[in-house]
Each structure stands twice: as C-alpha cells, then as structure tokens.
Structure 1
Amino acid sequence: MLLAGTACSDSEPGAGGQPSSSTTQSSGGSSSSANPSESTKPSENPSAASVAVVPAKGATSVQPDKPVTVTSTGGKLTAVAVKSAAGDELAGEFNADKTVWTSKPELRPNTAYTVSGSAEGTDGASVPISSTFKTLKATKNLKASVVPLNGETVGVALPIQIYWNNPVKDRAAVEKRLSIKTSVPVEGSWYWLNSKQVNYRPKVYWPAGTKVTVNIDTAGVNAGNGTWGAASREIKFAIGKSVVSKVDIKKHTMTVTINGKLARTIPITAGKSGFTTRSGTKVIMEKFATKRMDARTVGIQPGDPEYYDIHDVKWAQRVTSSGEFVHGAPWSSGSQGSANVSHGCVGMSLANGQWFFNQTLRGDPIVVTGSTRYMQMGNGWADWNVPYATYKKGSALS
C-alpha cells in the first residue's frame, strides 16, 4: 500500500509545484496525507513495519550523486536491492540495527532504477519494497581510459594515467572518487596535467612485485558544466622486477641494473649536434620488435640531408612522444661507445638491443644525463622529472 511521506528534494516538482513524495509501505494497513510534508501513521498497530524510499516513487531528474535511502520504522529491513534496467546493481549497506539502507552515491545519469526488497515488523509480518525512479539526463557523460591495462605487468616507474573523454571542471569532486590500493605501503600523489588527464605516481619507484588496484568510482560524480560520471572502473596490475637503466651521453654508455645488481654496461651512441638527446628520467612507453622510422614524423622532409626512412629498425622502445627511442642501430656500430651520431635516439648493437628489449617492460625508467636539453611534462611519461613536493601540489586536494 502506498502512502504520502516526506518530500524528496532531488526529484522534479509534482503537480501544483509540490515536490514528489517518498514511497512509504506498511504491513498494517494504510492512510495518506494530502500534504507531503506531513508525517503519516500507516497503522494503529505499533508492531507493523513501515518503509520509506528516497528518491520518491516515480521521481525523475534525480541527481546521480545523491544516495538512495530505504528506511524502516516499526521493524527492520531484511533485503534491499537497487538495480538499473540493464541489471547493474547499486552498492549499499545497512546501519547497525538494519533500519536504514544507504547506497553509494554512484547512480548513472539518464537511467531508470528499480528498488526492491522487504522489511519485517515486530509483528513478524513482511512488507514488500517496490519503487522506481529515473536520474537526470546529463549534458555530457564522463568516462575514463586508463594506462596501464587491466592485468598488465609493468615497470617500476610507470605513472598511472587517466584520460577523460570530456573536460573536468570540478577536479576535486572527481579526485575524491579515485583511490589506489597496494599490496605493500606506497606513498604517492595525483597530478592534474590538464582538465582531461590526471596521473598518479609514487614518491619513489614502485617496489618490485607490488600488486596495485586503481578504483575509479566516478559513476554519478558531478564533474561540473553539466558533465556527470557515467561509469566506474577497477584496474588491477602488477609491478615486475626492477630494471633501472642509466644513459651517460658524454661517456657513450648505458648501464642496466636489475633488482639492484649491475647486469650489463652497453656501448651506445646518442643524439648529435642539432639533435641532442634529452636529459632526464624517461619511461618506456611502447615496445616494437620491428619499427619503421620515417624522419617525416619529426618534421624532416625528403630531400633534406638529414632525412631517413628505415623500415626495419629492430628492438625499438619509445621513451618520448617527440620520437626518441632506444633501439638496435647496426649502421652506427663504429660510433657506439665513442661518439654521438644519431638523430636523438639511443642506439646500440643488435645483440645488445635484443638483450635489453627482453629485459624491459612498459614503464621501466631510463635516466639520461650529459646534455643541457631536458625532458618536459607532456613529452611522454615525464612525471619523474617533476620534484615530488611540486607533484603533490598538482593534486586538486592538496
């Protein structure tokens, strides 16, 4: 039986400008009130259970960041479920005495929901719970793309990167919905590069073997400017062994340390004058057993003396967005270990290139020293070039 209950503030006004009422159900008969703001007494039987649901039954334009609450008086709740038409169930929990059930504020915009369940009065009678409502239609939906991939094993320097499909105005509201769980204690911070990207990195490199879970609980979040979170995601990944490489441009060498022990010192060549290799901490972004390298992608056109187009560069690992790689370079074997002759990449023998390729993962760091041309944020995964104290200030919650 349905009764008029307390008003619901997150639904569209009803007839005559009055707000829609909550849904109230009872095990002991019913009565109603013409005034939604008045309390109602569903039964003279004090042992009968009465249930109220907010948002009200039939409410529309409900804000997705408001929780659903189901309250029982004169008894306790025995079961509550809130599901979308697609079958997605909203998470929630009971209070200690099971008189109130409250959902997470993670409704999807423009979605119809059904509330179901039951309550039991002190008289032992069961009351079914049944209600429906619909959330508002968002001007824009907010969804996330994530690096790394779910299930991926990555290197110790990989920054978690979340790319939004629409700009985020209220960064603090969105960041509050982001969390990181690790198998061992790790200190870290979020850093907003711009309104469409937020990254996370630890204070120091991830400990080898760490298990990481990224919770993006943004369904229902109000991101501002009519943009609402349309979905939540969970990403789980693992950190592999520690592979830290250091390139010394002046000495023409790269040392590779694996799990704290020097594994190999490799003769290399780096960028020549006019194509200086950047100093700073770079992170392996992509790996290619074979990669075509065409100078037109970096602005050098055919006819230029510096133009090149090599179709089968072996063991290529990208470290900047602007086109720096670490790769096998048999054509520069006479200069490796003694001179810098490349167009900015770090080149080595095919044998060393293959060995190094087989040791690394996406997310492994390569620390370059010896030039006055430096890495900048935005040119690849350059998070480690920002001092941690500064990085923390890039959080919307700092």
Structure 2
Amino acid sequence: MLVAGAACSDTEAGGSPSSPGTTQTSGTPGVSTTPGASTTPSQEPAPASVTVVPAKGATSVKPDTPVTVRTSVGTLKDVTLEDDDGDKVAGRFNADKNQWTSAPQLEPGATYTLTGSAEGTDGATVPINSTFRTLKAARNLKASVAPLNGETVGVAMPIQIYWNNPVKDRAAVEKRLNVTTSVPVDGSWHWMNSKQVNYRPKNYWPAGIKVTVNIDTQGVNAGNSVWGSASREISFSIGKSVITRVDVKKHKMYVTISGKLARTIPITAGKDGFTTRSGTKVIMEKYATKRMDARTVGIQPGDPEYYDIHDVKWAQRVTSSGEFMHGAPWSSGSQGTENVSHGCVGMSLANGQWYFRQTLRGDPVIVTGTTRTMEPGNGWTDWNLTWPAYKAGSALS
C-alpha cells in the first residue's frame, strides 16, 4: 500500500479544535530555566513526549486522514493501528524513528485502536493508547471489475471498473488505481462516464503476459459524500494473439494467430437496412448455443424481418446492440458472395466451431467495408479512439 510521507490533523466533531493531538508524557521533559540562565537546551535524560493525530476520542475523522504518532524526545518502539475487525493498517516510521505515519486509507464508519510505546532518552517506556472513529459515509464506493480474477483473456481486453456510485473527484480516485505487468506496457486510464473507468495499453497487450490491477480505494474521497469503503486486487493473463479482420465488401474473414494467417473464412454480413458496423470490436461473450430473438433488437413478431432461432451455434457477441459472429447454416449459399444477415457475421458451422475454439473473451475483431461505424459504448469500443484521444480521457492527463 502507498503511504503518505507527511502528517496532517483533520478531525471534526469529537476532536478538539485547539488541541488536535493527544499528548502523553511521563514526568517533565528537560530542566526548566530561570531568567538570566543559559538558554542552551538541556541535554539531561528526559521521558518521551508523544503526540497522536487524530486526537484520542475523536469522531467523524475523514477516512483519507493519515494517522501520525510522534515523540519530541526519544524514539518510538512500536506502533499498531487496527480496525474493528482487528485488521492492521499499514504504516511506516521515518528515518529517525520519532514519527510513524499510516496509509491514508481508513474505512468509513469504523473505530480504530492505536497501541504502541515510546522510549525517552531517560530509558523509560511510555505506553501509547488511543481510539477514534471515522465518519460514516453518506454513500460508499465499491468496484466491480472485468476481466475476472484469474481469467485468461485476449490481447484487446480493456480493464473495466464499474463503480456503484458516481465519482465526482475522478483524479483522487484514479490516483488510487495501479496496473502492473510482467513486461513493460504503456497504458492509460480513460473515464467512460462518472461510473466507469477503463484502461487499455497503447497497442494490444503482448501475448502471454500477466497483469495485476490494484484498486486501492478504501478511504478515498470520491466527492459528494462518497467514500471508498474497500480495496481489491485482481490478476489476469493474456492468451495467444488472435486478431480477426472482416472485409464486408469481399465477404471474407481473415484470422491471424500469433502473427500468421491461420484461416480465410467466407462470410455473410448485414444486408441493406441492417448494415454491419465497421470499426474495432472486441469479443465480449461466447456461447456454444444461443437463442436469438429479433424482439431483443426491436423487431416484433409479424414483421417480415422477424426471426426467433433457438439454437444458434458458436455465437460470439461483439456489440451491446446485438452483433455476433456465429455459425449460420441457413445462409450457406450466400457466404462469400453477398450480405444477407441482420448485422451479424455468419459462417459455416464447421468454420464457426473452429473459430470459436481459437478465441478468447477480449480478442479483437476489425471490421471494414461499410460506412456505418461503431457508436461509443456499443460494446467494448476503447480501440476506436486514437491513442492521444484515449489518454486525454484520463483525469490525470
């Protein structure tokens, strides 16, 4: 966990405005002087003089407040900060070991107990005991993440974090997000809206690497009385490189695996009125068998274009609006020669099965040959932005 290097006092109701810390002493440090006496500080042994921020008994302490313990005499021997459940808060000593500072990541609405000891220059030990309570958030901030922990995904998979409440202070939250990779990768966060932030590399992920996402947002102030209530970490792997290119005009699909053309597949795409979108799509879902009912795209029974197929094989979703790559034996006579679908890319069952077995969620599908383009947010559309435009979507750019 990251640890702040400076301490501050930030207590509200329950803390003493005029006395932000609690001072614990044993005896009177130093020797008092009289007028006319030398003003040289006494070097005689003295007990530790400990100050704790926030003050003992404080309530409504902001969760992003770093807890500090300091002694003006001697050194700190040990310091432990625990929440209600006995979970320890990370912290560290400074070089002189006369100050300890916690990570500014406290849980909202929790009671914390601080224990430890300090040793004065007189050799005596002074115990440290303090409790305080953090403010209760009006709303908590929690994250849902894709991909899943332990998942292996394709080279175009964006990291997607969905927040349960809107984030006003995007910069504060983004500072708590970190991506590490087993080989160096240049990447950026991009805010899709106040409840979603994505991350993608400049170019596709290198095949076979490991990626870890640290969402270190417990205690972060997201604005509008929304406070981070939990942190989490996920790790995932990138599979082999499978890049698909669909040429709608030529009615062909080219599948490149690990840099080599593996198969050219005759396809049919969307007919007039149902034109397949051009752009870079990403495989979002995979179904060995899926029911496809035209009512889900607004076509009702009785319409000449209505369909309801219960057993579409090898279906892979590439847009939220309903475009799939799938086996389509009913259009076998048109595959490779004309476009007759309602927007999906159809192929033979044999090719559909082969293709299904090559791909992972997160593999890219690059479609060309139509004037209809991908709408932002209609699926995982991160790759339809230039790299400068994508980076500009970071709150820290």
Same fold (TM over 0.5): yes
CA distance in 1, matches of 2:155, 2:13: 54
Structure 1 residue 72, shift from structure 2 partner: 2.4
Larger mean Cα displacement after TM superposition, 122-131 or 111-120: 122-131
CA distance in 2, matches of 1:202, 1:180: 10
Q: Which residue of 2 aligns with 1:10?
A: 10
CA distance in 1, matches of 2:145, 2:50: 41
Does the aligned pair in 2 maintain the 1:376–1:385 contact within 8 Å? no
CA distance in 2, matches of 1:332, 1:88: 61
Q: Which residue of 2 aligns with 1:50?
A: 49
Q: Secondary structure at the match of 2:299?
A: coil
Q: Residues 317-352 of structure 1, C-alpha deviation per residue, up to 9 Å, x if partnerless?
A: 110000001111111111111111111011111111
Report the residue type matching 1:50 in the other structure. S
Report the residue type matching 2:115 in the other structure. S
Q: Which residue of 1 aligns with 2:383?
A: 384
Trace 1:1-398 onto structure 2 (pairs within 5 A): 9-13=9-13, 18-19=17-18, 21-26=20-25, 28-29=26-27, 46-398=45-397
Report the residue type matching 2:334 in the other structure. S
Q: Residues 190-233 of structure 1, C-alpha deviation per residue, up to 9 Å, x if partnerless?
A: 11111111111111101111211111111111111111111111
Structure 2 residue runs of 5 or longer lacking an equivalent are: 1-7, 30-42
Structure 1 residue 18, shift from structure 2 partner: 4.3
Structure 1 residue runs of 5 or longer lacking an equivalent are: 1-7, 32-43
Structure 1 residue 183, shift from structure 2 partner: 1.2
Q: Residues 44-69 of structure 1, C-alpha deviation per residue, up to 9 Å, x if partnerless?
A: 97342232211111000101111011
Does the aligned pair in 1 maintain the 2:191–2:394 contact within 8 Å? yes
Distance 1:13 1:245, change over 3 A: closer
Q: Secondary structure at the match of 2:21?
A: strand
CA distance in 1, matches of 2:326, 2:359: 12
Distance 1:45 1:24, change over 3 A: farther
- Give the RMSD, CA atoms, in angstroms: 1.9
CA distance in 2, matches of 1:287, 1:48: 69
Q: Secondary structure at the match of 2:59?
A: strand
Share of identical aligned residues, percent? Answer: 75
Q: Residues 162-200 of structure 1, C-alpha deviation per residue, up to 9 Å, x if partnerless?
A: 111111111111111111111111111111111111111
Does the aligned pair in 1 maintain the 2:145–2:162 contact within 8 Å? yes
CA distance in 1, matches of 2:366, 2:13: 61
CA distance in 2, matches of 1:320, 1:23: 58
Q: Secondary structure at the match of 2:353?
A: helix
Q: Residues 96-138 of structure 1, C-alpha deviation per residue, up to 9 Å, x if partnerless?
A: 1221111111111111111122223344433322111111111
Q: Which residue of 1 aligns with 2:33?
A: none
CA distance in 1, matches of 2:28, 2:146: 55
Tell me the TM-score normalized by structure 1.
0.91
Q: Secondary structure at the match of 1:62?
A: coil
CA distance in 2, matches of 1:207, 1:126: 56
CA distance in 2, matches of 1:361, 1:98: 51
Q: Secondary structure at the match of 1:331?
A: helix
Q: Secondary structure at the match of 2:130?
A: strand
